[in-house]
């Protein structure tokens, strides 16, 4: 059965305590899972993400909304789980590039 609300508490707040065989899990969210339930679509998904990035960078002009904005710091407690994600956002403006024949 698909448990769509498995990451929520009864009162619908974000769940932060997970247990396996009675032991509390310290790292309950991992990018692709681990062990026998590890994501089998990982390679496919990573390829799709790379294709998306390639298309974004080749078809769009990008600029920072605030030119003085700094890259947000990373959360070091998640070192070892693949790419560490930033603790915050960096807002970017994007516009479709004009093709040669439109200029």
For ligand HEM, the binding residues (CB under 6 A) are 31-33, 37, 39-41, 44-45
Measured between its terminal Cα atoms, the distance across the chain in Å is 54
Nearer to ligand HEM, 20 or 101 (CB): 20
Q: Which residue is nearest to ligand HEM (CB)?
A: 41
Nearer to ligand HEM, 27 or 63 (CB): 27
Strand boundaries in the chain, DSSP class E = 19-20, 23-24, 60-64, 92-96
Nearer to ligand HEM, 30 or 74 (CB): 30
**β-strand partners of 74:** 86
């Amino acid at each position: 059965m698909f448990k769509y609300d498995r990451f929520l508490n009864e009162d619908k707040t974000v769940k932060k305590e997970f247990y396996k065989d009675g032991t509390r899990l310290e790292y309950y969210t991992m990018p692709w899972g681990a062990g026998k339930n590890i994501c089998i679509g990982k390679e496919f998904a990573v390829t799709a993400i790379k294709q998306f990035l390639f298309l974004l960078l080749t078809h769009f002009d990008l600029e920072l909304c605030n030119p003085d904005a700094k890259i947000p710091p990373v959360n070091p407690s998640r070192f070892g789980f693949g790419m560490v994600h930033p603790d915050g956002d960096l807002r970017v403006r994007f516009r479709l590039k004009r093709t040669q024949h439109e200029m």
